[in-house]
């Protein structure tokens, strides 16, 4: 369209009498040298030598086009016949286009005479327009796209990112390069013309040639390491042997790492530096275009660029750089290499623009602190705190009002956009804040070759201000309270960072270990032990724990659309905090305290890749870097060993194997315990669903109720959410003997007033199928099956169900039964606003007993209301803890066994089945789950007999008492008493493990911090379960006597 516009414009120009004189040999204003007359449009006589070929160390000389001379003659004839360019200038313009611009023969070979003639004319027209408008630059944009190849040509000034121009590289990233995969991918060749567009302008043409990859025959897959078996045919034809060797080496390194691999080479006789970067396809976006902005910032420009795709999922970028301004390339190339990882991590950084003038590291810092501010600016303030003094959070109605006001404050006070506007307003302050951060965390390699010279120079030239001095300057900078709060939050961030991988040469995401003391107690009443904050190219995430030794699941928070993403983004940390708090109460009688991780992918992100980056970047902070130029030592203000234990959660159950093996590959000695929920056969995991771990805990509460109330289970009617396809739902069916009258799951609702056919339920549970597969012929009178996709269904009672999904969502409010066991469903399905639907108009309760198997199914306010009305209820933190007990013992065995023992005793790699040790260890896990759950049930039951305290509150009270006692024991010197320590560990450790390995060996292998936590958790839980949450110090004295004697 643009070239057609030029053609019409040229036609009008050449038919204009004033312009026609330029081409007329008789006009009074005619000059015998049009180039001198027009200055810009004219072109001097072309060189007869043609363009100088590129050195052949990288790619072989451009494809030779034998018909080029004949084609040029045809183009000249066509341009002459079109009449748009004055006759006297046609030859020079065509010759200049062919010989002096330096466009490679690839272009001339692939394009038609008509297209080339059009482009010659377009270039001429651009010169005329620039002359007419008194412009110092030409604007020429040519492009052609097809299904198999495309090219883009535009005028380009070396070393400048034209943010107002067509941004072809951004478009190519988004449309071609970022979408490349093993099936469809694109390779790119880009050249800067060797000649200028005219004799008076220092502009070149930048040419991009894209082509669909044509793999070699029978290309290898993801594990193929031979470059010649996964390459594009054209690449193998064009690349020199040296390039193939370079790419082979860097490809192998990229296959073994999660992040990018970067290297550079000197190009003989040209002064160029060749930057080569390899990374996994799909692991970042907008990287190619971001690199251009990076080297432009450091005063370099590229002469040629290549992007190669390989069938094993590796992308390799090769860029030839020349200096334009600033320090020589020798000084900048290492800086560009290091900061390429920041571009890889944050390619779409709105702060890295010419308008801000921020360097890449300054902009990356600003971006991360921007996200920090979004989550942690205290958005409640004094007004909310004053209101909180008047409203009581233990009164359900008032708690709802407080919650609504709190959410409104958080949504409207400091928005993402308003914070970003502040950063754009004060780039100089962002630079000063960055220096304050960098002076603490910037490190230099021991190798002089890798010292980031420019970063140090910049830190030396920009004033360093202390936190106090910065705070004073911010106060003087503006009187806008909103702006001050945003900038002060950056200081809070700086002071909270204990260690970071920000300056690690290769990384996939930015990670920060934060001191949690900055969290306001008004919003977060219990200060966590540790917080990791992670920011990647397409996600953000947190990991929060309440003890040094802690374990919890990693959850991926998915968003259906932009609206839900915004909601998830606002609530991400608060959800993480809430989940970790609940986990802490659930983990009260095991060595690991509560923790939780959350990952929020962007809408267009791949969750698996986000998880991998999240894990790898946290490992950067857990493992000591000892690879110069790859993983170097970082500044560690915490200066203590940290070990995290991850588990599966929503969206990550299938990723645990990868995380464990990745930790092993990175040299973590504790890789066997890094994740739980691993595959049993290959990595020695203990599947909760297969062995009914969580359900065993729930069963101690249901059967405990029946025992204490003198009830026979076979006579009990029950409603269950969570179907036979799930872990809890299936095992609840297989372990129970009641009359289940309704099951509600993701597919719909199955109901039979006389009890659903148990044989049919067990069939579905064993096959892990949803209730939609229930055999309707097994339904009794009055029974029905309503699926979520059903519309206008009539029930046996005559009731019309217009929408099956709505019916399913509210089904747990419909039925009356003795027992309700939620084994699945969304959090807060029963809240203070709808809990009244669990009793009828006369106030009769629909359930007598509730054992909350699903996490957070009922809100605390709703639980208290149900208990006040007479429901016997046990909350999730008590009932649903079998899984965490199993995971805790999975962590223990990983720490206790060395690699050889672990493979032999905990896996079934040889195909001979599991060892006797594994089978015995699983039995020990099941026994521990049953024993711990029964002990807590008895403790709660006894403490609630007087009716003064609701069981939901007792669970929390027992949990907090246990946690406080554990903490006190860990801080005491009781653990240092060898007799007491050994006697406790003998009881706390599984006998099977002691018999196999020996107590003394176990005490040498287990990390000391873990032993202390195991010791304190065992003593605290056994004491509280035996004596109750209100036991006295005298009780503890008598309890401890049993461990004080030598055995």
φ, ψ dihedrals at 640, nearest 5° = -135, 150
Instruction: Name the percent of the chain in helix, strand, coil, to the closest 5.
Output: 50, 15, 35
CA dihedral 84, 87, 88, 89 (to 10 degrees): 30
Per-residue buried b or exposed e for 62-86, using 16+ beta carbons within 10 Å of the residue's own CB:
beebeeeeebbebbbebbeebebbb
Q: Are 970 and 1010 in contact (CB under 8 A)?
A: no
3-state secondary structure of 597: strand
How many CB atoms within 10 Å of residue 536? Answer: 28
Report angle CA 94, 99, 101 to the nearest 5 degrees.
90
Q: Find where tokens 């503006």 sit.
A: 478
- H helix or E strand, kind and range, residue 386: helix 381-390
- The residues, any chain, with a CB within 8 Å of residue 13's CB and separated by 6 or more, are 19, 125, 128
- The residues, any chain, with a CB within 8 Å of residue 287's CB and separated by 6 or more, are 173, 279, 317, 343, 344, 347
> What's the CA gap between 567 and 600, in Å, rounded?
11
**Alpha helices for 165-307 (secondary structure H):** 168-172, 233-238, 241-256, 287-297
> What's the CA gap between 25 and 558, in Å, rounded?
72
Q: Are 522 and 388 in contact (CB under 8 A)?
A: yes
388 is catalytic: no
- The residues, any chain, with a CB within 8 Å of residue 569's CB and separated by 6 or more, are 374, 416, 540, 600
Per-residue buried b or exposed e for 679-701, using 16+ beta carbons within 10 Å of the residue's own CB:
ebeebbbbebbebbbbbbbbbbb
How many CB atoms within 10 Å of residue 140? Answer: 23
φ, ψ dihedrals at 251, nearest 5° = -65, -45
How many CB atoms within 10 Å of residue 589? Answer: 26
Quick one: which of 676, 731, 737, 729 has its CA closest to 703?
737
Length of the chain: 1047
Cα–Cα distances (Å) from 856 to 409, 446, 823, 867, in that order, read 24, 51, 11, 16
> What's the CA gap between 1038 and 863, in Å, rounded?
36
Q: Label the pairing between strands 204-212 and 186-192.
A: antiparallel
Q: Are 507 and 259 in contact (CB under 8 A)?
A: yes
End-to-end CA distance of the chain: 91
Q: Are 311 and 214 in contact (CB under 8 A)?
A: no
Per-residue buried b or exposed e for 476-514, using 16+ beta carbons within 10 Å of the residue's own CB:
eeeeeeebbbbbbbbbbbbbbbbbbbbbbbbbbbbbbbb
Q: Are 591 and 888 in contact (CB under 8 A)?
A: yes
> What's the CA gap between 185 and 212, in Å, rounded?
6
- The residues, any chain, with a CB within 8 Å of residue 910's CB and separated by 6 or more, are none
Describe the strand order of the beta sheet including 539-545 as a list of residue ranges: 497-500, 510-514, 530-535, 539-545, 593-601, 550-556, 645-648
* Catalytic position from the list 596, 613, 672, 678: 596
- Positions annotated as catalytic residues are 596
């Amino acid at each position: 369209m643009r070239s057609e516009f030029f053609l019409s414009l040229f036609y009008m120009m050449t038919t204009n009498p004033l312009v026609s004189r330029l081409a007329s040999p008789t006009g009074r204003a005619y000059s015998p040298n049009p180039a001198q007359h027009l200055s810009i449009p004219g072109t001097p006589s072309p060189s007869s030598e043609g363009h100088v070929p590129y050195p052949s160390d990288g790619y072989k000389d451009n494809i030779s086009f034998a018909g080029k001379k004949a084609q040029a003659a045809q183009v000249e004839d066509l341009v002459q016949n079109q009449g748009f360019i004055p006759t006297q200038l046609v030859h020079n313009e065509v010759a200049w286009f062919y010989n002096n611009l330096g466009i490679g023969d690839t272009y001339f070979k692939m394009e038609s005479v008509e297209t080339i003639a059009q482009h010659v004319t377009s270039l001429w027209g651009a010169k005329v327009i620039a002359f007419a408008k008194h412009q110092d630059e030409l604007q020429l944009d040519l492009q052609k796209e097809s299904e198999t190849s495309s090219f883009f040509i535009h005028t380009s000034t070396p070393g400048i990112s034209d943010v107002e121009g067509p941004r072809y590289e951004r478009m190519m990233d988004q449309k071609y390069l970022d979408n490349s995969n093993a099936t469809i991918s694109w390779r790119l060749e880009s050249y800067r013309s060797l000649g200028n567009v005219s004799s008076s302008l220092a502009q070149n043409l930048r040419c991009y040639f894209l082509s669909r990859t044509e793999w070699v025959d029978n290309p290898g897959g993801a594990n193929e390491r031979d470059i010649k078996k996964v390459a594009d045919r054209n690449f193998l034809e064009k690349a020199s042997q040296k390039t193939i060797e370079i790419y082979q080496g860097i490809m192998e390194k990229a296959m073994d790492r999660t992040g990018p691999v970067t290297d550079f080479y000197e190009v003989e006789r040209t002064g160029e530096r060749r930057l080569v970067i390899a990374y996994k396809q799909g692991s970042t976006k907008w990287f190619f275009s971001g690199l251009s902005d990076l080297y432009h910032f450091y005063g370099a420009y590229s002469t040629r660029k290549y992007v190669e795709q390989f069938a094993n999922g590796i992308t390799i970028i090769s860029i030839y750089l020349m200096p334009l301004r600033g320090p020589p390339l020798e000084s900048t190339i290492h800086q560009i290499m290091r900061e390429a990882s920041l571009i890889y991590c944050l390619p779409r950084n709105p702060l890295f623009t010419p308008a801000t003038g921020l360097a890449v590291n300054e902009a990356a810092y600003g971006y991360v602190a921007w996200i920090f501010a979004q989550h942690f600016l205290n958005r409640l303030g004094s007004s909310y705190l004053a209101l909180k003094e008047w409203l009581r959070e233990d009164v359900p109605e008032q708690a709802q009002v407080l919650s609504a006001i709190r959410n409104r404050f958080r949504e409207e006070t400091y928005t993402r956009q308003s914070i970003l506007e502040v950063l754009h307003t004060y780039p100089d302050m962002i630079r000063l804040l960055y220096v304050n951060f960098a002076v603490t965390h910037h490190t230099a390699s021991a190798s002089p070759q890798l010292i980031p010279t420019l970063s140090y120079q910049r830190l030396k030239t920009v004033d360093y201000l202390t936190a106090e001095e910065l705070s004073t300057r911010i106060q003087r900078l503006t009187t806008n309270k909103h702006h001050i709060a945003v900038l002060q939050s950056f200081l809070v961030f700086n002071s909270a960072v204990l260690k970071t991988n920000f300056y690690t040469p290769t990384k996939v995401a930015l990670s920060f270990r934060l001191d949690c003391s900055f969290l306001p107690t008004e919003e977060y009443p219990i200060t966590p032990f540790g917080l990791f904050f992670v920011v990647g190219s397409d996600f953000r995430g947190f990991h929060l724990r309440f003890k040094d030794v802690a374990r919890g699941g990693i959850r991926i928070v998915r968003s259906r659309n932009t609206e839900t993403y915004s909601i998830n983004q606002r609530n991400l940390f608060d959800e993480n905090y809430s989940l970790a708090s609940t986990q802490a109460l659930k983990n009260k009688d095991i060595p690991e305290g509560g923790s939780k991780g959350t990952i929020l992918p962007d809408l267009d992100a791949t969750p698996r890749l986000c998880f991998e980056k999240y894990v790898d970047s946290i490992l950067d902070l857990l493992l000591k870097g000892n690879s110069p130029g790859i993983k170097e030592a970082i500044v560690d203000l915490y200066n203590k060993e940290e070990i995290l234990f991850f588990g599966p959660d929503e969206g990550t159950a299938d990723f645990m194997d990868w995380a464990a093996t990745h930790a092993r590959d990175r040299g973590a000695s504790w890789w066997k315990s890094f994740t739980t929920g691993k595959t049993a056969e290959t990595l020695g995991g203990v599947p909760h669903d297969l062995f009914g771990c969580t359900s065993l805990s729930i069963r101690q509460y249901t059967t405990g109720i029946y025992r204490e109330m003198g009830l026979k289970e076979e006579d009990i009617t029950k409603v269950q959410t969570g179907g036979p396809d799930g872990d809890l739902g299936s095992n609840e069916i297989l372990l129970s003997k009641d009359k289940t009258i309704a099951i509600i799951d993701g597919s719909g609702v199955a109901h039979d007033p006389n009890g659903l056919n148990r044989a049919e339920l067990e069939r579905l549970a064993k096959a892990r199928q949803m209730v939609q597969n229930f055999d309707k012929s097994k339904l009794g009178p009055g029974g029905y099956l309503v699926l979520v996709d059903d519309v206008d269904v009539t029930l046996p009672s005559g009731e019309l169900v217009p929408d099956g999904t709505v019916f399913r969502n509210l089904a747990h409010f419909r039925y009356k039964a003795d027992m309700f066991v939620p084994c699945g469903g969304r959090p807060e399905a029963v809240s203070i606003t709808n809990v009244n639907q669990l009793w009828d108009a006369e106030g009769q309760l629909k359930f007598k007993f509730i054992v909350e198997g699903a996490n957070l199914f009922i809100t605390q306010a709703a639980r208290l209301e149900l208990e006040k009305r007479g429901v016997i209820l046990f909350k999730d933190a008590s009932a649903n803890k079998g899984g965490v007990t199993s995971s805790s013992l999975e962590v223990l065995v990983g720490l206790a066994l060395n690699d050889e023992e672990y493979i032999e005793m905990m896996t079934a790699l040889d195909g001979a089945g599991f060892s006797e040790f594994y089978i015995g260890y699983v039995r020990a896990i099941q026994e521990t789950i049953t024993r711990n759950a029964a002990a807590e049930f008895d403790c709660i039951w006894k403490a609630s007999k007087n009716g003064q305290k609701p069981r939901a509150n007792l669970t929390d009270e027992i949990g907090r008492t246990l946690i406080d006692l554990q903490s006190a024991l860990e801080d005491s010197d009781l653990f240092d008493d060898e007799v007491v320590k050994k006697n406790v560990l003998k009881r706390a450790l599984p006998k099977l493990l002691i018999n196999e390995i020996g107590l003394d060996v176990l005490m040498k292998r287990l990390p000391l911090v873990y032993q202390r936590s195991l010791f304190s958790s065992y003593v605290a839980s056994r004491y509280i379960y035996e004596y109750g949450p209100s036991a006295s110090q005298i009780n503890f004295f008598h309890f401890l006597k049993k461990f004080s004697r030598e055995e």
